Amino acid sequence: MSTTATQLKPQPTVPGTYQPKGMLIGGKWVGAASGQRFAVENPAKRTAVAEVPRSAAADVEAAVAAAEKAFATWKAVVPRERGKLLLKIAEAIEARVEELARTIALETGNALRTQARGEAKMTADIFRYFGGLGSELKGETVPLGEHVLSYTRREPIGIVGAIIPWNAPVMLGALKIAPALCAGNVMVMKAAEDAPLGVLMMADICQEFLPAGVLNVLTGFGQECGGPLANHPKIRKLSFTGSTEVGKVIMRAAAERIVPVSLELGGKSPSIVYPDVDEEWTVDGIIAAMRFTRQSQSCTAGSRLFLHEDIFDSFLNKLEKKTTGLKIGDPLEEATDIGTIINSKQYTKVCKYVQDGLDRSDAKLVFGGLPPKTGPLSEGYFTLPTVFADRSNDWRLAREEIFGPVLVAIRWSDEAEVIRMANDSHYGLAAYVWTHDIGRGLRAAHAIESGWVQVNQGGGQTPGMSYGGYKQSGIGREFSLEGMLDSFTQRKSVTVNLAV
């Protein structure tokens, strides 16, 4: 039997943030069947800020049963009406956007002003966008002849198992919940163990409007909770965002039962700077594309900076000046530009990459380096934006996804060669091209093997655009109408003989 929410141990509250009531199964806030819990850490202070249930197979079972019960009714709701509920959720999120933003900043270490507030607002926008798409779940008629009526229906798939990461947890969660539910599916979602609070708050808001069991949210660890979810025989669709490594595990689980799978995975995205844009706006764009103000914990980080040899040194000088002017500090403080790395494991990993760069004789440290061991920044998992200059695209720092603020600048002179280097990666998520010559920029954009190429900007995704990876960066698209139709519906053909 599940423990009740009241058995969760109260934690000292951080003003203006959400305190969890348990996890959401069948419209109720419950503890784990085992009664176990785990602490959620504030990475800026290395202190526990809340406790959440540590769920496992029995809880997955309960959540799937609740979802199954809800499906029959939910799929029969007129799509436009489902959409209206999502629109109400969007409004309710907007009304509590500051609390959501503070909660995200507290548990992820992403700075409130530069990151968390934007994520909270985007979450409302995502519900609003998909809330308007209910009527687009339409099929087609097929001209098979005068005596035949053949048409297609877009039907929901059933219970969706969703597993999300910690780097933009609420937005990435909304990107699964809103389209899946709009299309008539029900969901069991596992929040990331490092950042479950914002997701639980979003679930709490959703629960005000949704029938019980339509959305169920579990908190727990990867193998312990994510494993049984990915392998549950009643889960009919898997939607995963996270590392390529775990993405392969999810895909194997899906293969066992021939379940459709959407994967949003890692990246090692190239930024190609042509010699005509040795300018301040490009430097701002590179800082944005590298996601330095979210500690580069982003799969779209433009972490390979291909700078033309004519501007290599002067551009790096400008980049140093601007980047080192950014304020690193407590994510909840308004003045902070850059927050912290999520946890001790990632922090150690990032430091190891920096040390590797320092140890390599061919690489030159342009700025940054290992984080301070004393002073206020040593209280949390703070790292420094770091840039290494090198000639090669073939070393570890230029090939592996670091998920931290370590940028490799690589000199180029020949256009065909830089495109070859940009494509020499098993990833293919995002890319950035910088030039005043729009013809050249678009030729490069078309030649790059990535699911998303931005020319002269380094922004984030916007609802409406189809977002997803080439190569080992993933399968399927999110953020868009097409993504919703392809990922969360299945097409049925109905063929009627009109001659009888």
Q: Which residues contribute to the site for ligand ADP (CB under 6 A)? A: 163-166, 190, 192-193, 221-223, 226-227, 230, 242-243, 246, 249
Q: Which is nearer to ligand ADP, 211 or 222 (CB)?
A: 222
Q: How far is the CB of 487 from ligand ADP (least distance, A)?
A: 18
Asked if residues 313 and 349 have their Cβ atoms less than 8 Å apart, the reply is no
Q: Which of 182, 206, 299, 351 is catalytic?
A: 299
Q: Which is nearer to ligand ADP, 4 or 223 (CB)?
A: 223
Distance between CA atoms of residues 176 and 183, nearest Å: 11
Q: How far is the CB of 220 from ligand ADP (least distance, A)?
A: 7
Q: Which is nearer to ligand ADP, 235 or 387 (CB)?
A: 235
Which tokens in the block code for residue 354?
């920096």
Phi, psi of 280 (to 5 degrees): -60, -40
Q: Which is nearer to ligand ADP, 109 or 242 (CB)?
A: 242
Q: How far is the CB of 227 from ligand ADP (least distance, A)?
A: 5
Q: Which is nearer to ligand ADP, 239 or 489 (CB)?
A: 239
In 3D, which of 197, 488, 459, 437 has the Cα closest to residue 308? 437
Asked if residues 319 and 351 have their Cβ atoms less than 8 Å apart, the reply is no
Q: Which is nearer to ligand ADP, 264 or 278 (CB)?
A: 264
Q: Which is nearer to ligand ADP, 199 or 277 (CB)?
A: 199
Q: Find the largest Cα–Cα distance for the chain.
A: 85
Residue 465 C-alpha from the chain's centroid: 15
Beta strands in 33-92 (DSSP E): 37-42, 47-53
Q: Where are the alpha helices (DSSP H) in 380-478?
A: 396-399, 415-423, 438-447
Beta strands in 235-327 (DSSP E): 237-241, 261-264, 270-273, 304-308
Q: How far is the CB of 345 from ligand ADP (least distance, A)?
A: 9
Q: How far is the CB of 488 from ligand ADP (least distance, A)?
A: 19
Its sign, for the CA torsion 23, 101, 162, 292, is negative
| Angle, in degrees to the nearest 10, between helices 97-108 and 117-131 | 120
- Composition of the chain by helix, strand, coil, percent to 5: 40, 20, 35
Could you count the other beta carbons within 10 Å of the beta carbon of residue 459? Answer: 11
Verify whether residue 264 is a known catalytic residue: yes
Q: Which of 264, 351, 401, 478 is catalytic?
A: 264
Q: How far is the CB of 344 from ligand ADP (least distance, A)?
A: 13
DSSP string, 356-374: HHHH-SS-EEEE--SPPSS
Verify whether residue 320 is a known catalytic residue: no
Q: How far is the CB of 18 from ligand ADP (least distance, A)?
A: 19
Active site residues: 264, 299
